[in-house]
A and B are shown apart, each in its own frame.
Chain A
């Protein structure tokens, strides 16, 4: 899976799950202030991305540092690469 394919699947998964406008899915979009996610949404983001990519995010401390959609893209790419390298 290329980085752009991962980014596309992250965006598609979030748009579908949270009924977002695809037009707002820019890397600099703030997840809370911009996309309107709250704490319960973050629980479900983890579930949705775990199912989409087969990675484990529930116990991942880097999740707490995610602020923007671009941060999320980078985290999923890193987790995917770790999974592929293991």
Chain B
């Protein structure tokens, strides 16, 4: 990553990825995620919690199976809702994969940048729905606030790991994970930190699903066949399926990683985030184009050198079409494109990290994953090279998109090999 002010590079520190950690609707761990994706499985299931809510038209979701959190000390865990538990477990996996020692973690040059769409919605529901219902403070515990605050995931990961460096907690709805990783990369590129543990996490709640349902953007036609939804780019797509989880990575300066002979999964080559002020609910193709172009320009690669694009494509009618139009506008029609939402739904703040992890694995393994449930590409999407089966191909550079409610766009360029650009 080469940060620039106008045309002047202000830093040339390369940012490499040395650890990956995932808690997904398939279960705990990156190997579990990768195996499920390779096998083309779905994690979308009937969700009784949603079926209990009157007026909610979606009853499917991609929840995380029960995780074992007992390995997190009670005095740390008491401040954690599910999303912080997911984030902490993912962080531990990423750290173990990276081979970071306790000395690395407590170094002030090691920081955390982890975000979520909101604080714990379950905890907010509990406090306002039960504890404060009678306008009395008697039932308010010391730990409620630490689960509700917007920085809950970042703070809890830092507490659990003993982090003493930067503590950042960006929140930008569904673009949160990518933005957290981008800000972490910039912290390293600017020389402010040597190691950053970054990503996003979220927990599934009926409110999240209800928001998309209210906006007419949730999938409803497949409540009896959860395996058939969501359907990114497909002509029969009917909306988002909400999920949960955590996707975190360990970023390091190239020098720091080299000094300890760390395995490198690749590097962060470019990152862009932009606002789309024309519509808070539907980012338009123009702002997506600008965001992708900025990320590619920062990477130093040409658009013709990007060998794969991991799309945000959630399975909504307008969002998928707009992204396809934007991708074609930047890269033309030949670039291989797929979305992983058909496998594990939309994991909200976790999706940026999880999709980046999957993309790194695709580059490492020399195969590109297809979009699940893409049976009949929609006319507004089908001009692109949409992958419908695993494609074995050596790709060095890829781009991952995430767009969000709130009019937020994010794009990240990653590279398998380590180089100057």
Contact = CB atoms under 8 A, between A and B. Distances in A.
> Which label, helix, strand, loop or mixed, suits the secondary structure of the A interface?
helix
A50 B137 CA distance: 11
Contacts of A43: 141-142
B142 A40 contact: yes
B133 interface: no
A36 B140 CA distance: 21
Interface size class of B (residues with CB under 8 A): under 10
Contacts of A19: 74
A44 B143 contact: yes
Contacts of A60: none
Contact of B138 (A40, A41, A58): A58
A18 B142 contact: no
Interface in B59-87: 74-75, 78
A47 B141 CA distance: 6
Interface string A5-18: 00000000000001
B302 interface: no
Contacts, number: 23
Interface string A44-57: 10010011000010
B9 interface: no
Interface string B112-151: 0000000000000000000000000011111100000000
A18 B139 CA distance: 16
Given A50-B138, A58-B138, A40 B74 contact: no
> Which label, helix, strand, loop or mixed, suits the secondary structure of the B interface?
loop
Contacts of B74: 18-19
A44 B142 contact: yes
A74 B238 CA distance: 62
A66 B139 CA distance: 21
Interface string A23-41: 0000000000000101011
A51 B139 CA distance: 7
Contacts of A41: 142
A22 B87 CA distance: 31
B75 A47 contact: no
A22 to B, nearest CB: 16
A40 B141 CA distance: 9
Contacts of B138: 47, 50-51, 56, 58
Contacts of A38: 75
A40 B95 CA distance: 29
Contacts of A50: 138-139
A44 B139 contact: no
Contacts of A44: 141-143
Quick one: which of B74, B139, B142 has the most chain A CB within 10 A?
B142
Contacts of A47: 138-141
23 contacts: A18-B74, A19-B74, A36-B75, A38-B75, A40-B78, A40-B142, A40-B143, A41-B142, A43-B141, A43-B142, A44-B141, A44-B142, A44-B143, A47-B138, A47-B139, A47-B140, A47-B141, A50-B138, A50-B139, A51-B138, A51-B139, A56-B138, A58-B138
Given A41-B142, A50-B139, 5 more contacts: A18-B74, A43-B142, A47-B139, A51-B138, A51-B139
